[in-house]
Chain A
Amino acid sequence: MIDRPSANGQAVAHYVSDAPFDPHAEERREYKGKSRLAEASQLRLTWWRFRRHKLGLYSAILLLSAYLLITIVEFVAPYNVHSRHVDFIYAPPQQVHLFHDGAFVGPFVYGRTMTLDMDTLQRHYADDPAQVQKLRFFCEGERYLFWGFIEGNRHLVCPAEGGQMFLMGTDRLGRDVLSRIIYGARVSLTIGLLGVMTSFVLGVVIGGLAGYWGGWFDLIVQRITEMLHSIPSIPLWLAMAAIMPADWSPLVVYLGITFILGLLDWTGLARAVRSKLLALREEDYVLAAQMMGAGTARIIGRHLIPGFMSHLIASATLTVPGMILGETTLSFLGLGLRPPITSWGVLLTEARSVNVIALYPWLLWPVVPVIVIILAFNFMGDGLRDAADPYK
């Protein structure tokens, strides 16, 4: 019954609401989700918000599956990494068909015939419609050693008996690009994560302390970052290459490289963290935390870093491709991963020539998973960012 208490310029009538006054209404103020809100810890709250960010959620699921997949690449890949097919060198990707002559057959590929053009020395492959090679699923195929010691031969999908299935074509030794990409994921995905983690832990901790403590510590850390910064990575790599013991197994080399990638990468981040914390540490809530008796770790970790989270997340997602592809730079210098270790970077490095671009473009396929993974990291980062953003 609220009348507009403005009788236009007239003196206001005394209006009194007829609603009864309930002094305790506020405490009983109910709305949906109240109890959940009260119960939930901050972590859970963040998770709830993250769940609402669909793209982020899907990306997280995709990444999770990718990381699960790398534990069972032997099963997922139709061929082994190193299986060669000398008769199918540089074979372009095969298409999966469902219908043959208008009849449904199920997923199958056509067999291939190869002719070698003796003039240009180019191999030409043609589908042979007479050969319908049905794909098999959960089938027995090439033998492999699961994680290097358990023997097996089950595959998710394999070509027909005696047939071939090169869905992404083959490379110069007739190796299946698809299988190599799948195997490559194992190294690439872990190298990315490991490297990013190393660099982040170092960057955040060192940068955080320098920014928060300031003073002498900052001075020293800044001089160290200056030093690391002023030496481009290339001479470092060259020096590394020179002193890396020859009999290190490829795995150790790989781990070492990852770690070093991370070790070298932190300076930029540390500086960013430091600069931001230099500003943030002046905020009152930091003072409040200090007065509560919070230790350095807590103040940096719980009060300061969250204020810089968006940048960190963005940086992390941007560093992942750097790490995945970082080894490609190294291979330019003769360091880095090498066959028989297979990674996306190795695959791309092998595709490093005009020949590939002009004649065998399918060897560039490994770019696609890199892009997908990076997009996924990015969108997941977005989701995390928003979930942690109190204003959202």
Chain B
Amino acid sequence: ASPSAVSEPESLKSLVEAGKLPPMAERLPKTPRVIALTGPETAPGRYGGTIRRLISGPREIRYMPIDSYSRLIGYDRSFNLVPDILAAFEVQDERVFTFHLREGHRWSDGNPLTPEDFRYVWEDMFHDKKLYKGGIPNLFRIRDKEPRFEVIDALTVRYSWEDPNPDFLAELASPVATRLMMPSAYLKQFHRKYQSKERLEQLAKENGVEDWVALHQKMSRTVRPENPELPTLDAWMPRTSPPAQQFVFERNPFYHRVDENGLQLPYIDRVVLNVGSGDLVPAKTGTGESDLQTTNLDFADYTFLKSAEKRYPIKVDLWKRTQGSRVALIPNLNCKDLIWRQALWDVRVRRALSIAVNRDEINKAVFFGLAQPSANAVLPESPLFREQYRQAWAGFDPDEANRLLDEAGLARESRYGMRHLSDGRPCNIIIETTGEAGFESDVLELISDHWRRIGIRVFVHVSHRELFRRRIVNGETVMAVWWGLDNGVPTADMSPRELAPTADDQLQWPLWGLHHLSGGGDGRPAELPEAQKLLDLYHEWRRAAALAEREGVWHEMLSLFTDQVFTIGLVNGTLQPIVHSKRLRNVPEKGLYGFDPTSYLGVYMPDTFWYEGEA
């Protein structure tokens, strides 16, 4: 059907009639992105309705751009990279990236999206010494060299490096992508280059900030869409400025996607986020106060929510979480305590600790037996999955564990006595936890039981998240509870950086990660050869141009990582309740739930969700 024949969304009709908004045909790009909805689970829908969601704090409005997931390039459900905002893109040797814009694509304020918006970011923002004090973001530097940015024509831009940058596209497709373009028409009024000093000062004052830098930062924030004025390319645009208890998002009339019938997406007119205590979210969801709820729900709430299905028009689905391990014990290989460090560096100890855990019991007691006992590794949904990784040192064998520990020199007087470290101290492990997830304390309780059998006593220490991480980085803790790999469903194209010491937020080797991150300036080099090997492999992956080569590196890393038990994964594939209104269509019954790479709901495209029946 031709776009003109398709009716306007009800909510925009009056505006269009009043001439405040051009008709749909003019709002859409010449070639909008057409989303086919004729799958077995999906169907093209119709306009209208409001989705109410619950968030536990104003910060959580940041889920909106993640869920909305309009990116230059994004993943589809099978994790292939597809152009989204872009009409097309070309990659040359992983070095030269050419992006073609859609003709007639507009920001939500009606201004066209042009290469000028890319240039503005590149030149006026990244290269402004005030705005970016430390220079352009790290992502753009390969071997300390910047790419060349070119505007090829009115619809084309290009970034070219001398060395391959295989992470680049994945970064653009990530849930919180670095923005290469910004609505320059709007932002220029806040930039010193385009605005008079006096006016800037006045604007800064009006907005309660100190100078134009803060002003520009404040007005251009996209991570938390707090500025309703800031034009966006997302499906819904923010309509509320904080502080508020309710955040309203309305459809972006210039959004670039249409369904196969030519209806401009999103179907849903409004998304309303209500702020409330996180503890109350399950209860409120259970009384039908949320039309689409994914966050702040825990697996333990499932039974309750399911029982609420009878009373309220809601539907509860269970999706699979993508983490490599829902709960994992992370030994701190950089801990200050020399004796413990030595012990933990001994792979036998790590392995022993791992096989002393009865994962089946944990699965049964805490996850209804619905999760999968596993080492911290990739899920079967990933093309990289191998049974061998899952089972690496993930069986339950206390005898073997005891033997390994004996061998490693953690002596034990009697069969039931407690083990001692080499300096004679008893083997008491203080496990650090944030205590945020309720089941963590249950899991820890089971683990203290399991480990008592191998002569190790467990103490639990709870600290707030900031403190938690700080203590680990400072090496004050020996072990922590966290989750495993963020991305448990990688493809060979995705970066294996999580497996190697590449970042300082990796709890098993924060210092080694920092060393790499800071280019050797800070932290310490990976002191274990195996860890160093992982790092080398990672670099190899970055250099690899061919897919098969990358796959090879991935497998090598996975097998080394799991065999060395750098992290003690417990269970993965746990389930996440997803609650949505019964009338809300196109929400898949089964799905993968996680930040990376699915962007939570992002790859399932909430803009295609629609209400069946009367609104």
Verify if A247 is at the interface (C-beta below 8 Å from B): yes
Task: State which of A115-123, A198-206, A208-216, A305-313 sits at the interface with chain B.
Answer: A115-123
Complex contact B282–A354 (CB within 8 A)? yes
With A172-B442, A340-B445, A355-B300 known as contacts, the answer to whether A334 contacts B306 (CB < 8 A) is: no
Nearest-neighbour CB distance to chain A for B334, whole angstroms, equals: 17
Nearest-neighbour CB distance to chain A for B326, whole angstroms, equals: 16
Partner of B441, one of A89, A120, A241, A339: A339
Nearest-neighbour CB distance to chain A for B427, whole angstroms, equals: 14
Residue numbers in B under 8 Å from A100 (CB-CB): none
**Bound Cα distance A339, B365 (Å):** 17
Residue numbers in B under 8 Å from A340 (CB-CB): 445, 448, 460
Residue numbers in B under 8 Å from A242 (CB-CB): 463-464, 467
Nearest-neighbour CB distance to chain B for A119, whole angstroms, equals: 7
Partner of B365, one of A116, A174, A246, A334: A174
Complex contact A246–B463 (CB within 8 A)? yes
Verify if B7 is at the interface (C-beta below 8 Å from A): no
Contact with B along A241-254 (1 / 0, CB 8 A): 11000110110000
Verify if A359 is at the interface (C-beta below 8 Å from B): yes
Residue numbers in B under 8 Å from A8 (CB-CB): none
Mostly helix, strand, loop or mixed at chain A's interface?
A: loop
**Bound Cα distance A354, B442 (Å):** 19
Complex contact B462–A338 (CB within 8 A)? yes
Nearest-neighbour CB distance to chain A for B425, whole angstroms, equals: 12
Looking across the interface, which residue of chain A has its beta carbon closest to that of B461? Answer: A246
Complex contact B304–A246 (CB within 8 A)? no
Looking across the interface, which residue of chain A has its beta carbon closest to that of B444? Answer: A339
Contact with B along A98-131 (1 / 0, CB 8 A): 0000000000000000001001111000000000
**Bound Cα distance A302, B279 (Å):** 51
Complex contact B303–A241 (CB within 8 A)? no
Residue numbers in A under 8 Å from B361 (CB-CB): 86
Residue numbers in A under 8 Å from B471 (CB-CB): 246
Verify if A219 is at the interface (C-beta below 8 Å from B): no
Complex contact A121–B477 (CB within 8 A)? no
Q: Enumerate A323-368 residues with CB–CB distance to B below 8 Å.
A: 334-335, 338-340, 352-355, 358-359
Residue numbers in A under 8 Å from B303 (CB-CB): 120-122, 355, 359
Q: Enumerate B422-480 residues with CB–CB distance to A below 8 Å.
A: 430, 432, 434-435, 438, 441-442, 445-446, 448-449, 459-464, 467, 471, 476-477
Complex contact A334–B462 (CB within 8 A)? yes
Partner of A122, one of B307, B365, B441: B307
Partner of A359, one of B304, B459, B477: B304
Residue numbers in A under 8 Å from B441 (CB-CB): 338-339
Contact with A along B31-74 (1 / 0, CB 8 A): 00000000000000000000000000000000000000000000
Residue numbers in A under 8 Å from B467 (CB-CB): 242
**Bound Cα distance A335, B434 (Å):** 11
Verify if B368 is at the interface (C-beta below 8 Å from A): yes
Verify if B283 is at the interface (C-beta below 8 Å from A): yes
Partner of A246, one of B434, B442, B476: B476
Verify if B591 is at the interface (C-beta below 8 Å from A): no
- How many A residues, CB 8 Å from partner? 29
Residue numbers in B under 8 Å from A247 (CB-CB): 430, 459, 461
Nearest-neighbour CB distance to chain A for B304, whole angstroms, equals: 4
Residue numbers in A under 8 Å from B365 (CB-CB): 84, 86, 89, 172-174
**Bound Cα distance A354, B302 (Å):** 11
Nearest-neighbour CB distance to chain A for B19, whole angstroms, equals: 50
Complex contact A121–B464 (CB within 8 A)? no
With A86-B361, A116-B368 known as contacts, the answer to whether A338 contacts B435 (CB < 8 A) is: yes
Verify if B403 is at the interface (C-beta below 8 Å from A): no
Looking across the interface, which residue of chain A has its beta carbon closest to that of B364? Answer: A86
Verify if B301 is at the interface (C-beta below 8 Å from A): yes
Verify if B501 is at the interface (C-beta below 8 Å from A): no
Contact with B along A34-61 (1 / 0, CB 8 A): 0000000000000000000000000000
Q: Enumerate A47-103 residues with CB–CB distance to B below 8 Å.
A: 82, 84, 86, 89
Complex contact B279–A352 (CB within 8 A)? yes
Nearest-neighbour CB distance to chain B for A52, whole angstroms, equals: 49
Residue numbers in B under 8 Å from A359 (CB-CB): 303-304, 307
Partner of A121, one of B364, B368, B462: B368
* Most-contacted residue by chain B among A84, A246, A338, A352 (CB, 10 A): A246
**Bound Cα distance A249, B458 (Å):** 11
Nearest-neighbour CB distance to chain B for A330, whole angstroms, equals: 11
**Bound Cα distance A122, B462 (Å):** 30
Complex contact A353–B282 (CB within 8 A)? yes
Complex contact B476–A172 (CB within 8 A)? no
Verify if B231 is at the interface (C-beta below 8 Å from A): no
* Most-contacted residue by chain B among A119, A250, A335, A340 (CB, 10 A): A340
Complex contact B445–A173 (CB within 8 A)? yes
**Bound Cα distance A352, B301 (Å):** 12
Nearest-neighbour CB distance to chain A for B520, whole angstroms, equals: 31
Complex contact B430–A246 (CB within 8 A)? yes
With A119-B306, A121-B306, A173-B445 known as contacts, the answer to whether A355 contacts B301 (CB < 8 A) is: yes
Nearest-neighbour CB distance to chain B for A202, whole angstroms, equals: 29
Nearest-neighbour CB distance to chain A for B258, whole angstroms, equals: 38
**Bound Cα distance A86, B364 (Å):** 7
Q: Enumerate A118-171 residues with CB–CB distance to B below 8 Å.
A: 119-122
Verify if B286 is at the interface (C-beta below 8 Å from A): yes
Residue numbers in B under 8 Å from A354 (CB-CB): 282-283, 286, 304
Contact with B along A262-287 (1 / 0, CB 8 A): 00000000000000000000000000
**Bound Cα distance A159, B523 (Å):** 58
Residue numbers in A under 8 Å from B460 (CB-CB): 338-340
Partner of B464, one of A174, A334, A355: A334
**Bound Cα distance A172, B464 (Å):** 25
Residue numbers in A under 8 Å from B366 (CB-CB): 172-173
Residue numbers in A under 8 Å from B364 (CB-CB): 86
**Bound Cα distance A359, B448 (Å):** 28
Complex contact B476–A173 (CB within 8 A)? no
Contact with B along A11-32 (1 / 0, CB 8 A): 0000000000000000000000
**Bound Cα distance A338, B459 (Å):** 11
Residue numbers in B under 8 Å from A334 (CB-CB): 434-435, 462-464
**Bound Cα distance A373, B463 (Å):** 32
**Bound Cα distance A122, B464 (Å):** 33
Nearest-neighbour CB distance to chain A for B289, whole angstroms, equals: 12
**Bound Cα distance A17, B607 (Å):** 110
**Bound Cα distance A249, B463 (Å):** 15
**Bound Cα distance A172, B301 (Å):** 12
Nearest-neighbour CB distance to chain B for A11, whole angstroms, equals: 89
Residue numbers in A under 8 Å from B448 (CB-CB): 340
**Bound Cα distance A242, B279 (Å):** 23
Complex contact B430–A353 (CB within 8 A)? no
Q: Enumerate B150-173 residues with CB–CB distance to A below 8 Å.
A: none
Residue numbers in A under 8 Å from B283 (CB-CB): 353-354
Residue numbers in A under 8 Å from B430 (CB-CB): 246-247
Residue numbers in A under 8 Å from B438 (CB-CB): 353
Residue numbers in A under 8 Å from B432 (CB-CB): 246
Looking across the interface, which residue of chain A has its beta carbon closest to that of B476? Answer: A246
**Bound Cα distance A249, B279 (Å):** 29
Looking across the interface, which residue of chain A has its beta carbon closest to that of B280? Answer: A354
Cβ contacts A to B, 25 pairs, < 8 Å: A86-B361, A119-B306, A120-B303, A120-B306, A122-B307, A172-B300, A173-B365, A173-B445, A173-B446, A241-B463, A241-B464, A242-B463, A246-B432, A334-B464, A335-B462, A338-B462, A340-B448, A340-B460, A353-B282, A354-B282, A355-B282, A358-B286, A358-B304, A359-B303, A359-B304
Q: Give 7 nearest A-B pairs by CB, closest first.
A: A354-B283, A120-B306, A355-B304, A246-B461, A122-B303, A86-B365, A121-B303
Q: A354-B286, A354-B304 are in contact. List 11 more A-B contacts (CB 8 A).
A: A84-B446, A86-B364, A121-B303, A122-B303, A173-B445, A247-B430, A334-B462, A334-B464, A338-B435, A340-B445, A355-B301
* A residues whose Cβ falls under 8 Å from a Cβ of B: 82, 84, 86, 89, 116, 119-122, 172-174, 241-242, 246-247, 249-250, 334-335, 338-340, 352-355, 358-359
